[in-house]
Structure 1
Amino acid sequence: MEEVQKVIVESSNIVFFGGAGTSTESGIPDFRSADGLYHAGSGQQYAPEQILSRDFFMSHMAAFYTFYKTKMLYPEAKPNRAHLALAELERRGQLRGIVTQNIDGLHQLAGSRNVLELHGSVLRNYCMSCKAEYPLETIMASADDIPRCEKCQGFIKPDVVLYQESLDMEVLEQAASLITQADVLIVAGTSLTVQPAAGLVRLYEGNRLIIINRDPTPMDHLANARLGGNIGDVLHELVN
């Protein structure tokens, strides 16, 4: 820990790459851990991976929204110590950017400004017909099984990347550029199994790769330091 703290203190070009584990301390479940969303009963006849696909959204939209509203949306969630520590690093001029697989918007709520959301955000929604934009409140307040556009009655879709959909290439390129140029890369709360997002970590060419994760990852052997424990506790200690 002391060696990693020294690395953090001396760097002004840190990039953070995070996944669902970054937000579990805010009460948002992750996906692949033993107590994550994919291992919990969904109350549906379909597996979560199937529900969160483009094909399912288009063919079973009402069932998708039933699952989405009850299992994916946590509007009362607040940033935890991990989010706050990263915002503090950015405020100090040490953190150049955050690349996140999360869709909860908690990094921005904590005060981080340069956040690249690989998988989109639940806070943004749009009409599939006229492209009108809607906030999360519209989805939460909708009494209908399927939220519809106020302007054209088209279907509203969350601006999140579903299975069978491609990532935003502009966001992906910006993330690749950040990671390639980083002096220090901190990876936390991700299984590093989802592609192409996880492949971004392999673009890092430096010798200060820090992985913070409760469970082992396929890239632990590439890390210069690996720290266990709660991500919020570890980041708080590293920053403060």
Structure 2
Amino acid sequence: MSNEWQAVHDVIRSGQRIVFFGGAGTSTESGIPDFRSANGIFAWKDMEFTPEQMLSRSFFDRYPALFYQFYVTKMLYPNAEPNLAHVALAKLEERGQLLAVITQNIDGLHQRAGSKRVLELHGSVQRNYCMNCNQFYTLEELLALSHVSSLDNTQEKLRTESAADGQGEIPYCRQCNGVIKPDVVLYEESLNMDTLEQAVRAIEQADVLIVGGTSLTVQPAASLVQYYKGDRLIVINKSTTSLDRSAAYTVNDSIAAVLGQLVTV
């Protein structure tokens, strides 16, 4: 183990109120692509609308069938499994060292690994609600109701979609026939204020803050790290971030590889 990794290991081992703040890179080794890399979700440019537009609230309201085509085929990975990073963080919580996981991810893998206190800034694909009666639906139920298979012929669907088109791809509530919406924060929507406030309080209480798997470019989530007042900030990311210079420890490597080794030794 290098001196840098040993130092990070010692800090994590001595931490009593550790908070983890993570992004898309936390789940890439579970087979879920990130957003902004060369092979990321936002690199997909085969339509006249950008992925950002297709994941906006106004697009969801206007073109729900096309929204669900993109969402189901590009954003959902129901067979993904937690990786070593998720498992390591759950282990830190089990030891009584981890105060909270704050995540920008919507995949629910932290909970599947065993983490209990997970603050999901952008919501979760695991939760879905009828916009009319608020009936809850699991991810499995949503997929069963949406009947989406591919993004083929989306240009034609975009030109023809109306109230009568694409109905088989829009998941409707079994109770009232209202449109079901994923409990994820779309573009043009605000983050949940209660979740934000909990995240701020957790970071303020942290004696160790680990920032991992995030480029820190998505606001307002990225600005939360400013509430950390301690001197043991650890940044673990494959690429450089805006926090590297102010961090006490910086490791340019896979978050799964780093936490997977340092938490178990």
Superposition TM-score tier, normalisation by shorter sequence = over 0.9
SS of the residue 2:256 aligns to: helix
Looking at structure 2, the residues matched to 124 and 203 of structure 1 have their Cα atoms a distance apart, in angstroms, of 29
Letter in 2 for 1:155: V
TM-score of the pair, normalised by structure 2: 0.88
Looking at structure 1, the residues matched to 51 and 21 of structure 2 have their Cα atoms a distance apart, in angstroms, of 24
Letter in 1 for 2:172: R
Q: Please name the residue that 2:128 is paired with.
A: 125
Structure 1 gaps of 5+ residues are none
Q: Please name the residue that 2:44 is paired with.
A: 40
Looking at structure 1, the residues matched to 7 and 216 of structure 2 have their Cα atoms a distance apart, in angstroms, of 24
Q: Please name the residue that 2:140 is paired with.
A: 137
Structure 2 gaps of 5+ residues are 148-167
Letter in 2 for 1:7: V
TM-score of the pair, normalised by structure 1: 0.97
1:64 aligned residue (62, 67, 76): 67
Offset of residue 138 of structure 1: 1.6
Letter in 2 for 1:22: T
Offset of residue 46 of structure 1: 1.4
Offset of residue 45 of structure 1: 2.9
Confirm or deny that 1:16 pairs with 2:40.
no
Identity of aligned residues (%): 60
Looking at structure 2, the residues matched to 230 and 166 of structure 1 have their Cα atoms a distance apart, in angstroms, of 30
Offset of residue 89 of structure 1: 0.6
2:256 aligned residue (227, 232, 239): 232
Letter in 1 for 2:191: L
Offset of residue 35 of structure 1: 1.7
1:182 aligned residue (189, 206, 211): 206
Looking at structure 2, the residues matched to 181 and 12 of structure 1 have their Cα atoms a distance apart, in angstroms, of 10
SS of the residue 1:219 aligns to: coil
Looking at structure 2, the residues matched to 204 and 63 of structure 1 have their Cα atoms a distance apart, in angstroms, of 41
Confirm or deny that 1:172 pairs with 2:196.
yes
Looking at structure 2, the residues matched to 55 and 100 of structure 1 have their Cα atoms a distance apart, in angstroms, of 25
Looking at structure 2, the residues matched to 138 and 22 of structure 1 have their Cα atoms a distance apart, in angstroms, of 26
Looking at structure 2, the residues matched to 179 and 192 of structure 1 have their Cα atoms a distance apart, in angstroms, of 16
Paired residues in the alignment total 239
* Contact preservation (8 Å) 1:108, 1:115: yes
Give the aligned CA root-mean-square deviation in angstroms. 0.9
